[in-house]
Amino acid sequence: MENGAGHPEGLLLDAPSVGAPAGRRPRADAARNRAQILAAARRLFAEKDPRAVTMGDIARAAGVGRATLYRRFPDTASVAVALLDEHERELQGAMMTGPPPLGPGAPPDERLAAFYAAMVDLLDRHLPLLLGAETGERRYTTGAYAFWRAHLRVLLREAGAHDPEALVEPLLAPLAPESFAHQRDRAGLPPARIAAALAWSARRLLGGQVR
Amino acid sequence: MENGAGHPEGLLLDAPSVGAPAGRRPRADAARNRAQILAAARRLFAEKDPRAVTMGDIARAAGVGRATLYRRFPDTASVAVALLDEHERELQGAMMTGPPPLGPGAPPDERLAAFYAAMVDLLDRHLPLLLGAETGERRYTTGAYAFWRAHLRVLLREAGAHDPEALVEPLLAPLAPESFAHQRDRAGLPPARIAAALAWSARRLLGGQVR
DNA sequence: GGATATGTGGACACCATGTCCACTTGGATG
DNA sequence: CATCCAAGTGGACATGGTGTCCACATATCC
């Protein structure tokens, strides 16, 4: 951990996945149901508009009652968050302790570009889940988002940007699932081109010299 | 109109406001009701969470039946769009024919900064309406959005950016109402600071020289 | 094997949506 | 001024999702 300036450590999601009470070992049937719920939800989110999936849909597809579902997840977004958890944790690990340029050691503009590339990849592979998870302002209150924000703040400061605090949001905004969905699916831009454009702007914004 | 390369003219909203049939002069009571609906809606959007305003709310506050409301507006977002119409048209005019740097004549980085400033101002003054109007993917299908996009595309091309088509979205994303709402209301950043950060990035991205 | 906390699923009340239809009213026409 | 009809109106309705409650079942502990 070579970043003395306070790397965002405690912000990594360390809670044992949403919907899985930490108290003691869960009952066998409860665990089985939880697995069924997640499997069914993953299927549903993929096959129809993720924002149109209802609690009833998930319960029916999982073969459980609605109240059973409500016991663990307050809404469909929470289910999607639980499904994303693993993937986001992985990325967070790579950002904190993985090899450069995603991990520490590379100049900030290259790290930003690598972060963009990794996020585009995440978006490309799990877009339905991300759309299901980040409806409206929920995006800003999730644990993962706080982590991305802290990461960018560090990079911005390192690069001597004008006002790191105010620049974090604008740099993160292009990664909003809705925005990515629009670019890839409606405008037809291939993810690689999106990532390239973001890399270009990362270098312009944080690079020491132009060109 | 000194921009030979095809300035986005036809994209200006020229339809006579949403919900106002163009056919012939509307009946007196219909016009009165329409005015009441818009006035009531403006009030409602301002005083509670704009995304929680329902068609029933608007109808009740306007003193008309729900079906009367549905006759003109298919949903609450359309009402918000009608209320925004005038303001957005104004801004579009200033961008196309107004004085620089917002209007034509200034270098692209300055025009982008001015555009950001104008949009932040619009967001600051009409955030509730914008939040009510741009729920989910609707943001991308509105006429105004197509206009902003076309404008940026011109600026990006003029500045010789790497891939204008793919850069448009990332540059527009920070202006998403949800993003602005988060910065101003949850993070507590004053609009001026948001605008300054955007201006800084505009110059870094499209400016000829750093600093 | 019995006690108990935990998990389960159907039922219920509530609210918003979008449509339908019988009634009313503005305003053009003779 | 009386008449007519198309446009406008508002209440009622069916539908579907949400979140909660409660009687019952079933794992786990003793």
Q: What is the CATH number of the domain that holds B187?
A: 1.10.357
CA of B69 to C1' of D8 (A): 11
Report CB contact under 8 Å: A179, B198. no
- The residues, ordered by sequence, that sit 6+ positions from A24 with a Cβ below 8 Å of its Cβ are none
Quick one: tokens of B97?
A: 């024919």
Q: What would the pLDDT profile of B61-109 be if each residue is shown by its tens digit?
A: 998 888 899 999 999 999 999 999 888 999 999 999 999 999 999 999 9
What is the average pLDDT across A127-136?
Answer: 88
What sections of chain A are H helices per DSSP? 28-47, 55-62, 66-72, 76-97, 108-133, 138-141, 143-158, 164-172, 177-181, 191-206
Q: Which residue of B has its CA nearest to A172?
A: B174
Q: What is the pLDDT of residue B24?
A: 55
Q: What is the nearest CA distance from B23 to chain A, expressed in angstroms?
A: 33
In a domain? residue A10:
no
What is the average pLDDT across B117-124?
Answer: 97
Q: Tell me: do B89 and B38 sit in the same domain.
A: no
In the complex, which nucleotide's C1' lies nearest to the CA atom of residue A66?
C9
Quick one: tokens of A181?
A: 């969905």
Percent of chain B with pLDDT over 90: 66
Last residue in a domain, options B15, B45, B74: B74
Q: Tell me: do B100 and B156 sit in the same domain.
A: yes
Query: Phi then psi for A163, rounded to 5 degrees?
Result: -145, 80
Strand D lies under 7 A from the Cβ of residue B21: yes
Question: Cα–Cα distance between A166 and A158 in angstroms, integer?
Answer: 15
Q: What is the pLDDT of residue A24?
A: 55
In a domain? residue B19:
no
Question: Cα–Cα distance between A34 and A78 in angstroms, integer?
Answer: 13
Q: Which domain holds residue A126?
A: 77-206
Report CB contact under 8 Å: A169, B181. no
Measuring CA to CA, which residue among B166, B154, B175 is closest to residue B111?
A: B154
Count of CB atoms situated within 10 Å of the CB of A65: 12
Q: Tell me: do A107 and A199 sit in the same domain.
A: yes
Q: What is the DSSP string of chain B?
A: ---TTT---TTS--SS-TT---SSPPPHHHHHHHHHHHHHHHHHHHHS-GGG--HHHHHHHHTS-HHHHHHH-SSHHHHHHHHHHHHHHHHHHHHHHS-TTTSBTB-HHHHHHHHHHHHHHHHHHHHHHHHHH--TTHHHHSHHHHHHHHHHHHHHHHTT-S-HHHHHHHHHGGG-HHHHHIIIIIS---HHHHHHHHHHHHHHHH-SS--
Fill in the DSSP letter of residue A18. Answer: T
Q: What is the pLDDT of residue A137?
A: 80
What is the average pLDDT across B170-176?
Answer: 96
How would residue B22 be classed by pLDDT, with cut points 50, 70 and 90? low
Q: What is the pLDDT of residue B20?
A: 58
In a domain? residue A82:
yes
Strand D lies under 7 A from the Cβ of residue A56: yes
In a domain? residue B4:
no
Q: Tell me: do B123 and B156 sit in the same domain.
A: yes
CA of B102 to C1' of C21 (A): 53
Percent of chain A with pLDDT over 90: 67
Q: What would the pLDDT profile of A165-210 be if each residue is shown by its tens digit?
A: 999 999 999 999 999 999 999 999 999 999 999 999 999 999 874 3
What average pLDDT does chain B have? 86
In a domain? residue B91:
yes
Q: Tell me: do B62 and B87 sit in the same domain.
A: no
Q: What is the pLDDT of residue B137?
A: 80
Report CB contact under 8 Å: A205, B209. no
Chain B residue numbers touching A137 (CB-CB < 8 A): 178, 181-182
In the complex, which nucleotide's C1' lies nearest to the CA atom of residue A68?
C8
Q: What would the pLDDT profile of B139-157 be if each residue is shown by its tens digit?
A: 898 888 999 999 999 999 9
CA of A137 to C1' of D5 (A): 50
Report CB contact under 8 Å: A166, B189. yes
How would residue B19 be classed by pLDDT, with cut points 50, 70 and 90? low
Q: Tell me: do A82 and A183 sit in the same domain.
A: yes
Q: What is the pLDDT of residue B44?
A: 94
Q: Tell me: do B39 and B118 sit in the same domain.
A: no
Q: What would the pLDDT profile of B184-206 be if each residue is shown by its tens digit?
A: 999 999 999 999 999 999 999 99
Better-scored residue on pLDDT, A91 or B5:
A91
Place of tokens 């620049």: A167
Res. A10: pLDDT tops 60: no
Amino acid at A186: R
In a domain? residue A17:
no
Give the number of domains in chain B.
2
Res. A5: pLDDT tops 60: no
Report CB contact under 8 Å: B197, A166. yes
Q: What is the pLDDT of residue B6?
A: 35
Strand C lies under 7 A from the Cβ of residue A56: no
Q: Tell me: do A69 and A120 sit in the same domain.
A: no
Amino acid at B74: P
Query: Phi then psi for B106, rounded to 5 degrees?
Result: -95, 160
Measuring CA to CA, which residue among A205, A207, A163 is closest to residue B196?
A: A163
Mutate to test the interface with A, among B116, B201, B203, B211 (most CBs of A within 10 A): B201
Q: Tell me: do B128 and B173 sit in the same domain.
A: yes
Q: What is the nearest CA distance from B173 to chain A, expressed in angstroms?
A: 5
How would residue A159 be classed by pLDDT, with cut points 50, 70 and 90? very high
Report CB contact under 8 Å: B169, A179. yes
Last residue in a domain, options B74, B107, B128: B74
Measuring CA to CA, which residue among A114, A151, A156 is closest to residue B204?
A: A156
List residues in chain A touching B: CB distance below 8 A.
Answer: 51, 135-137, 139-140, 161-163, 165-167, 169-170, 173-174, 176, 178-179, 181-183, 186-187, 189, 193-194, 196-198, 200-201, 204-205, 209-210
Question: Cα–Cα distance between A115 and B166 in angstroms, integer?
Answer: 18
* Burial class of B78 by CB neighbour count within 10 A (0 to 12, 13 to 18, 19+): middle
CA of A189 to C1' of D2 (A): 67
Residue A104, SS3 per DSSP = strand
Q: Tell me: do B68 and B82 sit in the same domain.
A: no
Q: What is the pLDDT of residue A135?
A: 76
Chain A residue numbers touching B208 (CB-CB < 8 A): 210
Q: Tell me: do A136 and A179 sit in the same domain.
A: yes
Question: Cα–Cα distance between B197 and B116 in angstroms, integer?
Answer: 10
Half-sphere exposure of B168 (CA within 13 A, CB side): 20
Q: Which residue of B has its CA nearest to A137?
A: B178
Q: CB of A170 within 8 A of CB of B174?
A: yes
Q: Tell me: do B41 and B87 sit in the same domain.
A: no
Q: What is the pLDDT of residue A191?
A: 98
In a domain? residue A9:
no
Res. A6: pLDDT tops 70: no
What is the average pLDDT across A145-173?
Answer: 95
In a domain? residue A169:
yes
Last residue in a domain, options B14, B40, B74: B74
Q: Which residue of B has its CA nearest to A189?
A: B166
Measuring CA to CA, which residue among A170, A145, A6 is closest to residue A88?
A: A145
Which CATH number do you get for residue B65?
Answer: 1.10.10.60
Res. B208: pLDDT tops 80: no
Strand D lies under 7 A from the Cβ of residue A55: yes
* C-alpha torsion angle, residues A157, A162, A167, A170 (rounded to 10): -130
Better-scored residue on pLDDT, A46 or A21:
A46
